Structure 1
Amino acid sequence: MNIRYRDLIDQTYHFPQEEFALVDDSLSFHDIPLMELAKKYGSPLKFAYLPKISANIQRAKKWFADAMGKLDYQGNYYYSYCTKSSHFQHVLHEALKNDIHIETSSAFDINIVELLRQRGKIKDDTYVICNGFKRAQYIDNIARLINNGHENCIPIIDNYEEIELLADEITDPFKIGIRIASEEEPKFEFYTSRLGIGYKSIVPFYEEQIKNNDKVELKMLHFFINTGIRDNAYYWNELLKCLKVYVRLKKVCPTLDSLNIGGGFPTKNSLAFEFDYAYMVYEIINQIKMACDEAEVPVPHIFTEFGSFTVGESGGAIYKVLYQKQQNDREKWNMIDSSFITTLPDSWAINKRFIMLPINRWNDEYERVLLGGLTCDSDDYYNSEQHMNAIYLPKFKRDKELYIGFFNIGAYQETIGGFGGLQHCLIPHPKYLLIDRDEEGNLTTTLFKEQQSAGQMLKILGYQQEVDQSAETNRKEVLEA
């Protein structure tokens, strides 16, 4: 009778997989012995496996190179990283090893770009694509970057005022792009994206504000939809509408030579995940080429802005199951030593699915459970809605520790969760570990951040003066004793 957890996985999925394997009855991730991490650093623990960032960038570059080669596509491909997915220095340093470009979304992004430029991580020919609604500080920072000589900074125009605002601050002629306000999927609460300029308005906008403006040069049309790149009728329909705008605009704007198709490659969220990336890339390039050939205009250079795809699959978290609560005849709650709301905010905010697996005890019997976080909030849980299937884990036993891992969590969770700041119910943010490989391929680990302390949170909350006074009083008492 197959009653072990490993039997359940073997019956349900193809296992082991590229990144997951078993060593005895414990899980490894990219050959990282996760139980050793848990024992050495304790839990809760978050980590970033940096080589996965470079691996995914190189995968995407190969898909585009292969597709362009097969189709004899006469344009270049530029991989850009969407910084809002994770702004950490170690992420940018790893990504920029791969000859990529940067997409920004707010004013402080430019400060990061300037630091990276000073340190030689961003070169003079690196494209900096500036998206987002731009107000005073963002405009000032973009202008400073361009005025200081970074000519490949391309602000993407999001509304009708931005060209004038930028022109007032930028000294010399500069390049721009225009973002298309795509129509949202029918199930959305609104019809058209709040970002960009409507399909029908783009050519008139060019004629009125750009065509006779000697200070600006239109180089790029930007297209992105919230649902990301999916093989469905909605995506292909929106892409074809974008291509119609591109060819119309290209016929009246000779300087236009680039099409930015945004981001939106999915990340693996289940052991059953399947997505034919190579097919999607080939078909996108094919559709672009066919539209341009039919209209008798040159094909554009292609830009992408992959964020989650770049960094998402590099991240993981390890939690310990502290206790099991039997709340009724059917529901068993395994309580973890952290909070889903603070450490995996997308799991409760948008029911985002992540890969969840036990770290140890794969040879033990399993049971169906729910997972609960430490906060006194009814939304602090992870269940079958997020997980795609019912959650099964090795049976809880007081005398046998059980650790669980969440994987491919590297995008957005730290910034949305407020890394290093206040946390819901003052549950501290976990330790954060960086995992890399040296030149010989050996694993290296660096503790990037200790778990938050009470003092750090009290300082944010304005109690620091009282904390300092209390510490000074305790020090005096110790000295007097």
Structure 2
Amino acid sequence: MNTKYADLIDQTFYFPQEEFKTENNKLFWHGINLMDLIEEYGSPIKFTYLPKISENINRAKGWFEKSFEKHNYKGKYFYSYCTKSSHFKHVLNEALNNDIHIETSSAFDIDIVNSLKKEGKIKDNTFVICNGFKRDQYIKNIGTLIESGHKNCIPIIDNYEELPLIQKETKKKFKVGIRIASEEEPKFEFYTSRLGIGYKNIVSFYEREIADNKQVDLKMLHFFINTGIKDNAYYWNELMKCLNVYINLKKVCPTLDSLNIGGGFPIKNSLAFDYDYEYMIDEITNQIKQACDEAEVDVPNIFTEFGSFTVGESGAAIYKVLYQKKQNDRERWNMINSSFITTLPDSWAINKRFIMLPINKWNMKYERVLLGGLTCDSDDYYNSEQHVNGIYLPVYEKEKPLYIGFFNTGAYQETIGGFGGLQHCLIPTPKHLLINKDENGKFTIKVFKEQQKSSELLSILGY
């Protein structure tokens, strides 16, 4: 009988996969022996595999290059990283090694830009796309960046009052973009995004505020879909509406030359994940070219703002199963040595699922379990995977610890969880490792942050 955990995975998925394999009943991720990592650094631990960031950036660049060549597309492609996905310096350093641009969303983001400019990581020709609703300090920081001579700083106008406010902060000529207030998916509680300017008002706004404004050039139309780039009727319909606005705007605005298709690609959240990135890019390119050719306007440069796609698949977390509680005849609770609410907050807040696999004991029989966190909150649990009706793991043995890993956790989790700050029930933030490869392909590991100490938390609390 095929009753081992390895048999279950083999029967359910194509395995091994590009980033996962097993040797001697232990899990390897990108070639990293995860049990060796646990033995040296303990658990719980979080880690970032930096080469995955560069890999995904260059995959996307290659897909766009191939599509542009196929369709004889005359515009240029610009890969941007939205910093809100992960602001950490090691992430920005790795991403910026690949000739990319960035998108910001708040005042402090501009301080990060200035810091990276001093180190030469961001150049004067790097596009800094400033998104979001802009409060006073954000406006001021944008103005200061433009005043400093950064010609490729592009504030994206979110509402009618932002343009005159930015003009008060700088005397230099600058470029802007306009964000479209796209319609949300039917399942949303509201019809139109709170961000941006309505489809029907954009051309009139340009003619009223920008056309005769000698200080400002309109360069970019910004199109963002909250649910990301998906092959469904909703996405293609919104894209066509956006292209109609671009074409109408281009006919009256010669400086407009770029379309920002903000809204990211999905990342792998299951061993059964299936998404054709290359097809989506090719079809987007094709739709833009067809619409522009029919209208007899030049095709735009294409900007993307990939956040989760850039950094999400570089992150992982490992926990130890401390104990198993049998609450009734059917429910076995495997209690981990950390908290889902604090370390994987999206699993609690928006029911997001990550790839979850045991690190060891693949040769053991499996059982159906629930996973519980350490806090005293009833919501601190992880109870199902997207591909099955429950979680199956190797059987719990008190004397032989089971370790489990959650993968592709690199976007948003540290920021939403409050990295370095207070945690629910004062559960400490785990140790965080940075994993890289040297020029010989050998793994290098650096401790970025030790596990939080009691004194750090008490200091924040005023003790």
- Give the structure-1-normalised TM-score: 0.96
Aligned to 2:268: 268
- Relative to 1, partners in 2 of residues 1:246 and 1:76: Cα closer, same or farther, differing over 3 Å? same
Unmatched 5+ stretches in structure 1: 464-481
d(CA) in 2 for partners of 1:170, 1:374: 52
Instruction: Give per-residue Cα distances to partners, 1:29-64, cap 9 Å, x unaligned.
Output: 000100011111011000000000000000000010
Aligned to 1:349: 349
Aligned to 2:292: 292
**1:389: Cα distance to partner?**
3.8
Aligned to 2:95: 95
Instruction: Give per-residue Cα distances to partners, 1:81-131, cap 9 Å, x unaligned.
Output: 010000000000000000000000000000000010010000111000000
Unmatched 5+ stretches in structure 2: none
Contact 2:270 2:386 in 1 (8 A): no
Number of residue pairs matched by the alignment:
463
**1:263: Cα distance to partner?**
2.9
Query: Alignment partner of 2:251: what SS?
Result: helix
Aligned to 2:65: 65
- Give the structure-2-normalised TM-score: 0.99
Within the alignment, does 1:127 sit opposite 2:134 as a pair?
Answer: no
Give, as a single letter, the amino acid of the residue that structure 1 aligns with 2:257.
Answer: D
Specify the structure having the higher radius of gyration (Cα).
Answer: 1
Query: Alignment partner of 1:401: what SS?
Result: coil
Q: Which runs of 4+ in 1 moved over 2 A?
A: 385-389
Report the RMSD for the aligned CA atoms in angstroms. 0.7
Aligned to 2:416: 416
d(CA) in 2 for partners of 1:222, 1:389: 40
d(CA) in 1 for partners of 2:388, 2:92: 32
Contact 1:316 1:407 in 2 (8 A): yes
Instruction: Give per-residue Cα distances to partners, 1:313-354, cap 9 Å, x unaligned.
Output: 000000000000001111100000000000000001000010
d(CA) in 2 for partners of 1:279, 1:386: 24
Contact 1:355 1:387 in 2 (8 A): no
Give matches, 1:196-235, under 5 Å.
196-235=196-235
d(CA) in 2 for partners of 1:217, 1:117: 24
Give, as a single letter, the amino acid of the residue that structure 2 aligns with 1:159.
Answer: N
Give, as a single letter, the amino acid of the residue that structure 2 aligns with 1:172.
Answer: K
Identity of aligned residues (%): 75
Contact 2:125 2:152 in 1 (8 A): yes
Query: Alignment partner of 2:166: what SS?
Result: helix
d(CA) in 2 for partners of 1:272, 1:358: 17
**1:384: Cα distance to partner?**
1.3
Give matches, 1:4-43, under 5 Å.
4-43=4-43
d(CA) in 1 for partners of 2:266, 2:205: 33
Aligned to 2:398: 398
- Which stretch of the first structure deviates more once superposed, 229-238 or 208-217? 208-217
d(CA) in 1 for partners of 2:104, 2:441: 32
Give, as a single letter, the amino acid of the residue that structure 2 aligns with 1:129.
Answer: I
Give matches, 1:103-142, under 5 Å.
103-142=103-142
Give, as a single letter, the amino acid of the residue that structure 1 aligns with 2:173.
Answer: P
Give matches, 1:242-257, under 5 Å.
242-257=242-257
Contact 1:210 1:216 in 2 (8 A): yes
Instruction: Give per-residue Cα distances to partners, 1:168-216, cap 9 Å, x unaligned.
Output: 0012111000000000000000000000000001001111111111111
Query: Alignment partner of 2:444: what SS?
Result: strand
- Relative to 1, partners in 2 of residues 1:48 and 1:389: Cα closer, same or farther, differing over 3 Å? farther
Aligned to 2:175: 175
Aligned to 2:283: 283
Contact 2:272 2:387 in 1 (8 A): no
Give matches, 1:431-446, under 5 Å.
431-446=431-446
Contact 1:352 1:386 in 2 (8 A): no
Give, as a single letter, the amino acid of the residue that structure 2 aligns with 1:46.
Answer: K
Contact 1:353 1:388 in 2 (8 A): no
**1:387: Cα distance to partner?**
6.8
Give matches, 1:336-375, under 5 Å.
336-375=336-375
Contact 2:344 2:413 in 1 (8 A): yes
**1:390: Cα distance to partner?**
1.3
